[in-house]
Amino acid sequence: MKPSWRRPQIKGSETVSFKDKVDEIRRDFPIFSRLERGKPLRYLDSAATSQRPIQVIRAVEEFYEMHNSNVHSGVYELSEEASAAYSGARKKVAVFLGAQPKELVFTRNATEALNLVAFSWGRANLKPGDRVLLTQMEHHSNLVPWQMLAQEKGLKLGFVRITDDGLLDEESLKDELAKKPKLFALVHASNVLGTINDVKLYGKMAHEVGSLVLVDGAQSAPHMRVDVKDMDCDFFAVSGHKMLAPLGIGALYAKEDVLSSMPPFMTGGGMIREVTEEFTTFDDIPYRFEAGTPNIGGAVGFGAAIDYLEGLGMNWVRDHERRLTAYALDLISGVKGVKVYGPMDPDRRGGVISFNVEGVHAHDVAQVLDEEGVTIRSGHHCAMTIMERYGIPATARASFYVYNAEDDVDALVRGIQRVKQVFGVG
């Protein structure tokens, strides 16, 4: 029997207090009915992957129960339903980002979206000696593909430096832009420092020197209103699983004229117009970039996740996280012997807080916290250039989402005190 978790969506009304609203939200997430080592689950690892509300789980279940079939070529009703569900999901994600559906390619995740840009647009448009500008705060997914392409094509990579406060160094940015890169690929919100980069301003500066702009939105789209047209980026990459959707679905936005000019990245079924023994002509955008059977169930779940987030209101999501981050920064940085990385101004950052406890390895911090039911991540977070910048091997990282509240932060801080006790530091 299905549990009766379904309830009406909460609207973005400010008449409901933050805590009341979070309590309601938590009831939508079955995982919070689970105890973690006998204690309430304090899930503070949403930057790695979010939890999913029952509305998303049910949407996927309903697709497989009642509408499952392949898209593309079926003329029977079931296939038409699956095709309609798939294109409906595309429209929802596109509208959420301020894009047109034809500008939105479904991928497996942000990593695949970023690789698509490198190995389709990059391979076709960059030549030996061309520069690609990155930043020192990129996730490996927006660094390694460019290194691979640089080796293949003889490109030069530049990096905008990070200040001690965890912001992009604008002098370094100007110096690098003066070298006239062909592409500026930068993260919108850092998965380690929490920094929210002013991608609209930096993108405008890059466009002025003739560069295209790729924004890695894996950590921003889940947490704030994104409008790719207002931002005026050429590419924007997202992962569904970090924004309440199932694993294995993500998307790439690319401006219509840019996407139309790009060759396919993968080829095969589902992306062709005509194939003979000698040649193939390709389908229109975005289908040209979706070779093979897509993750239809995942896309349907992505659409349901968008509905859920829109129900909360992205302004509410951002406000809530800004408040919670301010609360957490205050408490965590007040603990003796704890160093917090990234900007301290909650207006300049998202709800990702990296820290270290003096004299204790981040993995040990995470392990002691786990014993308290508090789940955080430790390590280099796939951003080793940031670790290098600060001369550290790892950080402990707590990250928040719509279902977190002050009680989670309080449990985290109690856990940090316990770490200090266990290791006899501070």
Ligand X SMILES: Cc1ncc(COP(=O)(O)O)c(C=O)c1O
Binding site for ligand X (CB under 6 A): 109-111, 139, 141-142, 187, 191, 216, 218-219, 239
Separation between Cα atoms, residue 100 and residue 296, nearest integer Å = 19
| CB of 189 or CB of 285, closer to ligand X | 189
Separation between Cα atoms, residue 287 and residue 329, nearest integer Å = 44
| CB of 92 or CB of 139, closer to ligand X | 139
Nearest approach, Cβ of residue 37 and ligand X (Å): 25
Nearest approach, Cβ of residue 352 and ligand X (Å): 9
Catalytic residue among 31, 144, 209, 382: 382
Phi/psi zone of residue 292: left (φ > 0), alpha (ψ -120 to 50 degrees), beta? Answer: left
Nearest approach, Cβ of residue 116 and ligand X (Å): 12
| CB of 99 or CB of 110, closer to ligand X | 110
98, with CB counted inside 10 A (0-12, 13-18, 19+), is middle
DSSP structure string for 34-97:
SEETTEE-EE-BTTT-----HHHHHHHHHIIIII---SSS--SHHHHHHHHHHHHHHHHHHHHH
Instruction: Say if residues 350 and 223 touch (Cβ distance below 8 Å).
Output: yes
| CB of 215 or CB of 340, closer to ligand X | 215
Nearest approach, Cβ of residue 233 and ligand X (Å): 15
Spatial CB neighbours of 39, under 8 Å, sequence gap ≥ 6 = 372, 373
Nearest approach, Cβ of residue 318 and ligand X (Å): 17
Separation between Cα atoms, residue 398 and residue 161, nearest integer Å = 24
List Cα–Cα distances, 171 to 159, 167, 202, 337, in angstroms.
12, 12, 12, 32
Q: Would you say how long the chain is, in residues? A: 426
Q: Residue 394's beta-bridge partner residues?
A: none
User: Angle at the Cα of 31 (from 36 to 57), degrees rounded to 5?
Assistant: 160
Residue 169: CA count within 13 A, CB half-sphere: 13
Separation between Cα atoms, residue 37 and residue 51, nearest integer Å = 18
Helices (H), 192-262: 199-208, 228-231, 256-260
Separation between Cα atoms, residue 219 and residue 321, nearest integer Å = 13
In this structure, the number of other CB atoms found within 10 A of the CB of residue 120 comes to 22
| CB of 140 or CB of 161, closer to ligand X | 140
| CB of 191 or CB of 295, closer to ligand X | 191
Nearest approach, Cβ of residue 209 and ligand X (Å): 24
| CB of 142 or CB of 325, closer to ligand X | 142
313, with CB counted inside 10 A (0-12, 13-18, 19+), is middle
| CB of 139 or CB of 389, closer to ligand X | 139
Nearest approach, Cβ of residue 399 and ligand X (Å): 9
Q: Is 233 a catalytic residue?
A: no
Nearest approach, Cβ of residue 134 and ligand X (Å): 12
Residue among 215, 163, 166 nearest 193 (CA) = 166
Residues with catalytic function: 382
